[in-house]
Structure formats: C-alpha cells, structure tokens
Amino acid sequence: MKKLKFFIVSDSVGETAELVAKAAASQFRQDLDTVSMKRFSHIEEKSQLEEIAWLAEQQQAVIVYTLVRSDMRDALIAYCGRRDVQCIDLLGPIMHSIEHVLDERPTEEPGLVRQLDEDYFRKIEAIEFAVKYDDGRDPRGVLNADIVLVGISRTSKTPLSQYLALQRFKVANVPLVPEVEPPAELYEIDPDKCFGLVISPEILNSIRKERLIALGLKDDASYAKVDRIEQEIIHFNKVVNKIGCTVIDVSNRAVEETANVIISKMNSRKFERIRKDLQR
C-alpha cells in the first residue's frame, strides 16, 4: 500500500491544516499509521517555501497550507507548479470570499486565531478563579487575585466578581461579618487592588427582606433589621480603613456600572505606575 505523505505548512502553528489533512486522509487510509504528517510552522520567508516545495518533490508529498499573506500563497503555488507538487490552500479561497462579501482587505497578520484562543482561555481561567474564591471560601486566593472585593452580605460581591471575570480579571471576594475576624491576607495585599462595597442601610434592608421571603422565611429576622445592618457597616468601615482600600457606594449602581468604576481606577493606577517608571 502506497504511503500518503503530507507537508503541513503554516505561518502560525499549523494545527488547523493538520486536522483538515487528517480528516481528508481518513477517507483513503483508515489506518493513519500509513499517513505521514510533517509540520512546518511559523514560515515567514519565501526561501523557506521554495525549500519545502523541493523536499515535497523528493518525497512525493502533498502540501496542505494555511498562509494568510497573499504573496506567500502565490509564491508557494508557483514553487509547487514548477515541481509538479500537489498543494492545497485552505485559507485563500475563504479569505477571497469574505473579502468579496465585505469589500474589505484582510489584515494578513499571522497568528490572530491563536491570540483569540489565548484570550478565551484567559477568560475561562478568570471565571474559574472567581468561582473558587467566591465568598471567602479560601483566603489564599486573596494573595493571587487581580482584584479583591470586600463587603457585607448582599452588596453584589458575587455577580460583580463574575462580571469582572468576563473582563479577564481574577477576582476574589470576602464577606465582612462583625463576629468573624477578616482573613489576615486582606492586610497583606496592595490596597490598590482591593475595593470595599458599601450600600445604604435602607436599600440593603429592602434587599435582605426580599431575600428572606425568597427563602421562605419571615422578613423580620435580625439579618434584615436596620440596626443590625448599621452594625455591619461600622465593622466594614473599620476593616476597609485598616486596609486603606477604595470604597464604592453601590446603592444605586448596576453591577456593570460598579465594574466600570473599578476597571477605570485599575487602568488609571496602571498608567500612573508606568509614568512614574518612565520618569526614573
């Protein structure tokens, strides 16, 4: 049985071309041990393409390629044509069709899909982090977080953590209760990455009553009483003053608005640090 040889050529990693080649080869060789795949990744020079075409001729290999630059695709087609080497362009036809539909030129910048993939995995990692270190479950997360949220119960710490995670921030949140000493890690972190969430007693009173009713409980429990809430806020103020963190009033703010305030402050501080470093 004749062995089938593929040369996978890409200006990025080449995973896409290899998967497509394997899918096609499986229609002829169900035993993929009889199929050879050699990958040529991160190809940037036309001289490299000429050498690959020569090698393909010597080994009677089929070239399957994903090259985003049109001049590189044209060069490989020319080199393969001179040597009677079969070559299959996976990106060119699709890009031509999209260009025609949009009436726009492609950027022709290699590796953009991989950048998008990395961005996706950063987002997933941040979401998993927020879930793992939600509601003070493990105070060790405070030390590794990009952002730390502190506040009394029902100040939107969890939904805010998840929203910020979608923006690729690793967030830990810690509830503050007068009867429980805050974790020591809170006093070890950079105060600039910590944000205290406060809310008016009246609004929180209404929110907590609704919460109790939703749980099938009476709404006159201590948890929802204004004097208890004020006691918690006094404790909250002591803790955030000791940390030295920024305090945000979330009384009349949607989660998105609070997130934007935090992100804006984080970016401002980042640029300020860069400016100071440049002045040194």
pTM, 2 dp = 0.62
Give me the tens of pLDDT residue by residue for the chain, a chain 280 residues long. Answer: 788 999 999 998 888 899 999 999 999 988 777 899 999 998 989 999 999 999 999 999 999 999 999 999 999 999 999 999 999 999 999 999 999 999 999 988 887 766 666 778 888 999 999 999 999 999 999 999 999 999 999 999 999 999 999 999 999 999 999 999 999 999 999 999 999 999 999 999 999 999 899 888 888 888 999 999 999 999 999 999 999 999 999 999 999 999 999 999 998 888 787 677 756 6
Known binding residue 26? Answer is: no
pLDDT at 6: 96
Q: Tell whether residue 157 is among the known ligand binding residues.
A: yes
- The confidence score (pLDDT) of residue 77 equals 97
> What is 118-279's CATH topology?
Rossmann fold (3.40.50)
CA count, 13 A, side-chain hemisphere, 85: 30
Instruction: Tell me the residue type at 40.
Output: F
158 annotated among ligand-binding-site residues: yes
Burial category of 102 from C-beta neighbours within 10 Å (exposed 0-12, middle 13-18, buried 19 and up): exposed
Question: Is 94 annotated as belonging to a binding site?
Answer: no
CATH T-level topology, domain 4-110? Rossmann fold (3.40.50)
In the chain, CATH 3.40.50.2300 covers 4-110
**Residue 65: strand pairing partners:** 9, 89
